[in-house]
Structure 1
Amino acid sequence: MITKNKPWVGMDRQSQRRADAETPHNLFWIIDPQGNFGLRIQTKDNIKFVEEKISLKGIQLIIDNTVANKTDFFLILQNKEDWEIFYTLCDDLIKVVRDNPNGKEMISAIELRLKRWQHLLKQNKHLSLSIEQQMGLFSELMCLKNIVIPKLGVEQSILAWNGPDFDKQDFLLDDAVLEVKSYRTSKGDTVSISSLKQLYSEKESIYLVAYALTASENGTSIEEIAADIRQLIIINGTNYDLDLFESRLIAYGYAPETLNEELKSFIVDHQRVFKVTEEFPRITPQDVKAQITSVKYFVDLSKCSEFEICLEKFLK
């Protein structure tokens, strides 16, 4: 996360400083009577939140509708040591206000954003993703965007994505499961299978979707794919779909507002789909004694061409 200058520097208690002049609404950095940092959003309309009360860890929310034709919305930080992530939250909300000049639309957009932050602030303040975790999330988002959503639609696809639940296959469909794997192109076509159940299911069909990746500055980032999916949801889905997508990103460990380092970008060198049949090389729960509870093994995909299928036949 990039350190920002404190906008509250030089301000006295019970004072405010305009935060943005590009919206019809009033936005102010404030310091309350106790000396706490805060943000004030004042709309030109008298509007009430429609969602249940949102609770943000370490941040007090105050809504004042007492003045006619105005709504004052205050966020007050309880611990000054957390000012950087609080500033990032405030900056995020300022962008939301700037993009939604209509009062009611703005409040609705703020609600969605605050629910994302509600999930986010329950996590550790500063998260990190290993290169392997980044590759895993990148591949699942690529599969979601380019394969699953075009075939099943936004709502069903978001509901089907189980990526953050590492004990389940990545996509659980009505009559099929999808397991998504990634590997470095430079290290050969070998994928790691980390449990007995990843390539096992009682459903009719099991598919393995594999991505060969190369880290490159000229590649695509996780945030770029996530932004594309958000746009698809906005156009074709619902607020619930968007909220579910955001919460699952956070559950995965992806929260760009709190990451300590820049994420990698990747080039997809190969994308392959395999039908996991009885003959596919795998280890299932029936293959091992009950006393064995954990198994990790590797599959060489270069020797699995007989199980490969084309995308046109996938999920039909």
Structure 2
Amino acid sequence: MKINQIWDELANDTSFAKGLLLRRYSGSVLPDVFVAIQQPEKQLCIASSISESIDVDISQFDNLQEIQIELIPDPNKQEKRILIFKLTNNQHRDIFSVLCEDLIANIATETNERQLVKTLLNRFEKWKSLFTKIASEGLSPEEQRGLFGELYFLRKFMQHNNNYSAVLNTWVGPASEVRDFQMGNWALEVKTTHGNNHQKIQISSERQLDITHLEKLYIYHVSLEKVQESGETLNQIVSSISNLLSHDAIALNRFRSKLYEAGYFEQHIGLYDTTGYFIRQATFYSVEDTFPRIQEKELRSGVGDVEYSIILSQCEEFKQTEELVFQTLIKQ
């Protein structure tokens, strides 16, 4: 990634021994965004120059352990300050670099400084939660199966549509959206089951199968058989998709960012090496007409947080072929 190349070049600059060494990220990025390194500590940074008149409150980030935020005078421009995001634990460089690239992409065309600061700090809130996840003990077995199911569908979608960036943009599950995949007037929810309950799926809210404002809504049910030392592991399906994206650096970077949002980090991959999955069944259902579900508009006033299960044997008439589903998604 470009940001890693710049960091390496700055680290190898022997003419600069102490302080903050800044280099503008790109002329194609409209705001003043810099890649930087703090010497002699070799701490990696990303920074932006903003006007002194812009009110910036970073007090809420004072107690972070992995990243620091600082606001210092701009040595090159009067009436300007530099907002710096500094990585204090170089062990997490990969995650920091992916998220920095993602942040730059989000502000690349922003010319309003107040909005730029707002975007920077909002994105940093996400960084903060991701770095909290790093300290965890990895994904739970249920989270592993859920992520595997979403990636299984994502790979199929890529096999039907080689506009990988567009396909990746439809994957909104890691951002905790109501449904796992959505774009325009269609949405799709992946439901992954295993064991004895492989024909029953859980619906987490009254909005999940609500078709208001949608023309098409699908459920993709993936029934897994969990095995040890066999089948396809979570790590292997991640590698499989990464290989598909290997010639598209922007899409690959976007994929890594979404994996981090989902809680999948390199330091945990050893936890996912031995558990593999076989696909027992993978079926599409069209949610329409009399499909068994509860919609938000059907609830009485005061009722919310509805959870329920659906018996898939009662949904045979709503089955859809894989070819028809992907033809519909690509056309929409």
Match of 1:266 in 2: 277
Q: Is the 2:24–2:35 contact (alpha carbons within 8 Å) kept by the matching residues of 1? A: no
Gap change, CA 1:289 and 1:168, over 3 Å in 2: same
Gap change, CA 1:204 and 1:114, over 3 Å in 2: closer
Indicate whether 1:123 and 2:127 are aligned: no
* Inter-partner Cα distance in structure 2 for 1:295 and 1:167: 16
* Inter-partner Cα distance in structure 2 for 1:49 and 1:200: 46
Where do 5+ consecutive residues of structure 1 fail to align? Answer: 1-26, 28-39, 56-60, 65-72, 94-109
1:126 to partner: Cα distance:
2.0
Match of 1:257 in 2: 267
Indicate whether 1:170 and 2:180 are aligned: yes
1:254 to partner: Cα distance:
1.4
Q: Is the 1:210–1:272 contact (alpha carbons within 8 Å) kept by the matching residues of 2? A: yes
Match of 1:106 in 2: none
Match of 2:318 in 1: 307
* Inter-partner Cα distance in structure 1 for 2:98 and 2:246: 12
Q: Which amino acid in 2 is paired with 1:265?
A: G
Q: Is the 2:188–2:218 contact (alpha carbons within 8 Å) kept by the matching residues of 1? A: yes
Match of 1:19 in 2: none
Match of 2:116 in 1: none
Match of 1:139 in 2: 149
Q: Which amino acid in 1 is paired with 2:257?
A: S
* Inter-partner Cα distance in structure 2 for 1:266 and 1:218: 7
Residue number among 161, 172, 194 corresponding to 2:171 in the alignment: 161
Q: Calculate the TM-score normalised by the size of structure 2.
A: 0.61
Residue number among 297, 302, 309 corresponding to 1:298 in the alignment: 309
Residue number among 297, 312, 318 corresponding to 1:286 in the alignment: 297
Q: Which amino acid in 2 is paired with 1:233?
A: L
Match of 2:235 in 1: 223
Gap change, CA 1:262 and 1:225, over 3 Å in 2: closer
- Listed one character per residue, the Cα deviations across residues 95-126 of structure 1 (whole Å, up to 9, x for unaligned) are xxxxxxxxxxxxxxx9559758x948633442
Q: Is the 1:179–1:208 contact (alpha carbons within 8 Å) kept by the matching residues of 2? A: yes
* Inter-partner Cα distance in structure 1 for 2:25 and 2:181: 32
- Listed one character per residue, the Cα deviations across residues 207-231 of structure 1 (whole Å, up to 9, x for unaligned) are 0001001211212122221222222
Gap change, CA 1:259 and 1:223, over 3 Å in 2: closer
Match of 2:209 in 1: 199
Q: Is the 1:49–1:111 contact (alpha carbons within 8 Å) kept by the matching residues of 2? A: no
Q: Which amino acid in 1 is paired with 2:191?
A: K
Q: Is the 2:25–2:35 contact (alpha carbons within 8 Å) kept by the matching residues of 1? A: no
* Inter-partner Cα distance in structure 1 for 2:291 and 2:156: 25
1:238 to partner: Cα distance:
4.3
SS in 2 for 1:315: helix
- Listed one character per residue, the Cα deviations across residues 16-56 of structure 1 (whole Å, up to 9, x for unaligned) are xxxxxxxxxxx9xxxxxxxxxxxx96499xxx67364468x
1:63 to partner: Cα distance:
6.7
Match of 2:52 in 1: none
Greater Cα offset, 299-308 or 160-169: 160-169
- Listed one character per residue, the Cα deviations across residues 47-100 of structure 1 (whole Å, up to 9, x for unaligned) are x67364468xxxxx4479xxxxxxxx9358xxxx99xx958557x79xxxxxxx
* Inter-partner Cα distance in structure 2 for 1:166 and 1:112: 19
Aligned-residue CA RMSD in angstroms? Answer: 3.7
Gap change, CA 1:277 and 1:203, over 3 Å in 2: same
SS in 2 for 1:291: coil
Q: Calculate the TM-score normalised by the size of structure 1.
A: 0.64
Greater Cα offset, 246-255 or 189-198: 246-255
Q: Is the 2:151–2:238 contact (alpha carbons within 8 Å) kept by the matching residues of 1? A: yes
Match of 1:3 in 2: none
* Inter-partner Cα distance in structure 2 for 1:63 and 1:115: 22
Q: Which amino acid in 2 is paired with 1:123?
A: T
1:260 to partner: Cα distance:
8.4
Where do 5+ consecutive residues of structure 2 fail to align? Answer: 1-7, 15-22, 27-32, 45-64, 67-87, 103-123, 328-332
Q: Which amino acid in 1 is paired with 2:183?
A: L
Misfit runs of 4+, over 4 Å: 40-44, 51-55, 85-90, 110-116, 118-121
Match of 1:50 in 2: 25
Match of 1:99 in 2: none
Instruction: Say how many residue pairs are matched.
Output: 239
* Inter-partner Cα distance in structure 1 for 2:272 and 2:244: 25
Q: Would you tell me which structure has more helix in proportion to its own residues?
A: 2
SS in 1 for 2:310: strand
1:186 to partner: Cα distance:
3.0
Q: Which amino acid in 2 is paired with 1:275?
A: S
Greater Cα offset, 146-155 or 221-230: 146-155
Q: Which amino acid in 2 is paired with 1:190?
A: K
